[in-house]
Amino acid sequence: MNIDISEEAGVRYLHFGSSWIQGAMRIARPYALELDYTREMMTPLLLHEPDWPRRVLQIGLGAASVTKFLWRYRPHARITVVEIEPRVTAAARQFFKLPDDDRITIHHADGADFLVAAKHDYDLILVDGFDADARTGRLDTLPFYLDCRARLAEDGLLSVNLLSRRKDFRQSVKRLEGAFDGHAMAFSSCDSGNAIALAANPPAPCATLAELKGAATQLKRDTGLNLQPTLTRLAQSRHLAGGLFAL
Q: Catalytic annotation on 4?
A: no
pLDDT given for residue 17 in this prediction:
83
pLDDT tens figures, 222-242: 999 999 999 988 887 777 777
What average pLDDT values come out for the chain (247 residues) when binned by 10 residues?
Answer: 93 89 95 95 95 97 97 98 96 97 97 94 92 69 96 95 69 93 84 83 87 96 95 80 80
pLDDT at 132: 52
pLDDT of residue 168: 60
pLDDT on residue 244: 85
Task: Map out the domains of the chain as residue ranges.
Answer: 34-241
Distance, in Å, from the CA atom of 197 to the CA atom of 17, rounded to the nearest integer, reads 27
Half-sphere exposure of 113 (CA within 13 A, CB side): 7
User: In whole numbers, what is the pLDDT of the chain averaged over residues?
Assistant: 91
Residue 240, pLDDT score: 77
Selected from 3.50.50.60, 3.30.9.40, 3.40.50.150, 3.40.50.720, the CATH number assigned to the domain covering 34-241 reads 3.40.50.150
Point out the catalytic residue in the list 102, 123, 128, 168. 128
Long-range contacts of 77-80 (CB under 8 A, 24+ apart): 77/53, 77/103, 78/54, 78/103, 78/105, 79/103, 79/104, 79/105, 80/55, 80/56, 80/105, 80/106, 80/107, 80/120, 80/122
How high is the pLDDT of residue 131?
58
Do 98 and 64 contact (CB within 8 A), yes or no? Answer: yes
User: What is the model's pLDDT at position 133?
Assistant: 55
Enter the pTM of the model: 0.94
